[in-house]
A = this chain, B = another copy of it.
């Protein structure tokens, strides 16, 4: 792989990386249902506000979520609904893994 090609894959990987963290995955799911401000998400996640804010910043930079400021609060929502397809595939992988383990003990 030359440098140009590697850069191309790095860009794409960075979007996947944004999703590849339990907290961010959870937040993406919540944001797919309705938009939330930082404190609401902080409450749901159960980590420090600053940590949650940084996670949201990663999601924002990836282009996966929308940001809207309303007075003192900042509301995040899911921009790319197709990200939810990822999760369907992840579930499919888990089902396959479970089947493999079943096969292994028979």
B88 touches A82 (CB 8 A): yes
Q: Does A25 contact B (CB under 8 A)?
A: yes
Residues A79 and B96 in contact, CB atoms below 8 Å apart: yes
Return A70 CB to nearest CB of chain B, in Å. Answer: 21
> How near does chain B come to A24, taking the closest CB pair, in angstroms?
8
Copies of this chain, count: 2
Total A residues in contact with B, Cβ cutoff 8 Å: 41
Contact A87 B21 (CB under 8 A): no
Closest to A79 in B: B96
Q: Which 7 A-B pairs have the closest CB atoms?
A: A9-B22, A16-B20, A82-B89, A17-B20, A20-B20, A13-B22, A10-B22
Quick check: B93 and A80 within 8 Å, CB to CB? Answer: yes
**Contact status A89-B83, CB under 8 Å:** yes
Task: Point out the residues of chain B lying under 8 angstroms from A11, CB to CB.
Answer: 94
